Amino acid sequence: MESEFIDWLNTQLSQQSAEDCGIGDDCAVLPAASATAIQVISTDSIVDQVHFDTRIHTPAEIGHKALAVNLSDIAAMGATPSYAVVSLIIPNHWKLELVKELYLGILDLADTFRTQIVGGDFNRHAGPLTVSITILGNATSTELKYRSGTKYGDAIYVSGPLGGSIHGHHISFQPQIALGLELAKCPAVHAITDITDGLVIDLASLLTDALGAELNEDAIPLRDTIANRSDAIHSALYDGEDFELLFTVAPEFELDFNSTAQPTSIQRIGTINDSGEITLVASDGQIRQLSKKGYQH
Amino acid sequence: MESEFIDWLNTQLSQQSAEDCGIGDDCAVLPAASATAIQVISTDSIVDQVHFDTRIHTPAEIGHKALAVNLSDIAAMGATPSYAVVSLIIPNHWKLELVKELYLGILDLADTFRTQIVGGDFNRHAGPLTVSITILGNATSTELKYRSGTKYGDAIYVSGPLGGSIHGHHISFQPQIALGLELAKCPAVHAITDITDGLVIDLASLLTDALGAELNEDAIPLRDTIANRSDAIHSALYDGEDFELLFTVAPEFELDFNSTAQPTSIQRIGTINDSGEITLVASDGQIRQLSKKGYQH
């Protein structure tokens, strides 16, 4: 993401309407007649050689990822997925069998999360495979979780191990829809996002005004594939595409997720403060300031 | 469009749900709690060297077209556009100024048709510029017009001149939202689509079962840029991307569009019959059978 462009765009879009539609959050929120039936929408495209590699990944894996990244945005709002549309831009040389395999990857995951594919577009060109999906979801207004909900003193949690997603997790991950819905029901949960650009960058997106955060190195869960590396903590802080949920919770509240599928993988990794910075309490006790810029994928 | 793939996909998607969501129509129709507030959705991507040419067209023109093709699908349902999301895939070498110009082309047209851009995605890659837009619209269930509404004996109308869109109309056209809404209010209008693949192909998409159509060569309006060419009628029948509305009307009904912006450009070009074929009564009185296959763009 190019922050200058996003700032410019937000200004343009805010001129278009007086309503706050959640631009800059994981999904846009559509104004609705009823507070009990809010609709959210999000769009994400994935492109060969940027988000996947057709020399390594199967068409079904690519289809899975294309929908999974969109479902992850729905999870990050605490919403329930409903409908999606799929726009495929296929290389000229791709046989129809490959296109079908890709689509089956989408449909398998759609079935798992009861998301109905209701339309699409299909084009061929001389360039790279591109899969663009737009997803709709439902929520009640009291349950929706915005990034801006973060409060001073909140505990910071992450839903699973971080870092090294590039070694396979990024293509095969399961979106955290069930956890998102459970968090949505809980008023003590103040803000949710999914980790796409990296822990530090996405944590920064939860911090408005003078809010800051302190992370504890020893508490940050590391993915197995990187856990033994000397730069493991750097990977966990800055690698992108973890697609775990990052959320903040009122400090007095005790999380109890007995009903979720993966309760034991949730970790408290830090605390929201008013420093305006993100710092890390390293394993050796030293406190380091972390750059909010991170790395682009 | 590859018809084998579309057939396969329709089968897959119909297995996913018992509901008829309008797959294969210009928009998908989402089941709604209320018949007075139906939501429709459509997605269309445009790609450099397929739907436009960055060596010829300005970023603003490309942005305009990206939204216009989506609005045209909304017009073809007789719906009112509401929200859209925009996914941009930008060549690595594009300066941010160009991206902004492109977005302003989108926003100008969005303002004209009161379509609110509520979200988006932004990526860079080594490949061609790709703009993928998903649009939502509103309609009442009694007003929505499906392609399958065509009836035996209907008069066939087109909203404006056809052929040679490639010479400029395809990039700068204004979507026929106002006419679509007017047609939607009229129960005698049985079916609407927009001409994207070419008159004959899109007319074929209005014909279910044994229905056929007879077109009158002398009645088909020709775009100025091709009118004097010897193959003008071939262009009008088979060139794509005219983005005019093609619609069928009960034969006893007299169209009266005094309130529309372009009432004089609407032409009656033929009649629905039960031949199962599309034929042309040529200027010389001869009847020719037309191939439904046409040309790909």
A142-163, pLDDT tens digit by residue?
888 889 899 999 999 999 999 9
Q: Which residue has the higher pLDDT, A281 or A259?
A: A281
Provide the terminal-to-terminal Cα distance of chain B, rounded to the nearest Å: 9
Binary contact (B119, A43; C-beta < 8 A): yes
Average pLDDT, chain B: 88
Min distance A169 CA to chain B CA atoms (Å): 21
Q: Which residues of B164-185 are buried (b: 16+ CB within 10 A; e: fewer)?
A: bbeeebbbebbbbbbbbbbbbe
Q: Hey, which residues 3-62 in chain A have their CB within 8 Å of chain B?
A: 4-6, 8-9, 12-13, 16-17, 19, 21-23, 27-28, 30, 33, 37, 41-45, 47-51
pLDDT of B29 above 90: no
Written as six digits, the tokens of A18 are: 């007086």
Cβ-Cβ contacts under 8 Å between A and B: the total is: 178
Q: What are phi and psi of B61, to 5 degrees?
A: -65, -40
pLDDT score of B257? 64
Specify the CATH superfamily of domain A25-139. PurM-like, N-terminal domain (3.30.1330.10)
Written as six digits, the tokens of B242 are: 């005219």
A194-233, pLDDT tens digit by residue?
999 999 999 999 998 799 999 999 999 999 999 999 999 9
What pTM does this model have?
A: 0.90
Question: How do the domains of chain A map onto residue ranges?
Answer: 25-139, 147-289
Check if the beta carbon of residue B104 is closer than 8 Å to that of residue B97. no
Check if the beta carbon of residue B186 is closer than 8 Å to that of residue B252. no
- Please state the ipTM of this predicted complex: 0.89
Q: How far apart are CA B230 and CA A278, in angstroms?
A: 71
A88-145, pLDDT tens digit by residue?
999 999 998 999 999 999 999 999 999 988 888 899 999 999 999 999 999 887 888 8
Check if the beta carbon of residue A177 is closer than 8 Å to that of residue A137. no
Written as six digits, the tokens of A89 are: 């831009």
Topology adopted by domain B147-289: Phosphoribosyl-aminoimidazole Synthetase; Chain A, domain 2 (3.90.650)
Q: How far apart are CA A85 and CA A22, in angstroms?
A: 21
Q: Is B261 on the interface with A (CB under 8 A)?
A: no
Find the helix or strand (DSSP H, E) in which B41 lies: strand B38-47
Min distance B214 CA to chain A CA atoms (Å): 30
The structural architecture, per CATH, of the domain B24-139 is: 2-Layer Sandwich (3.30)
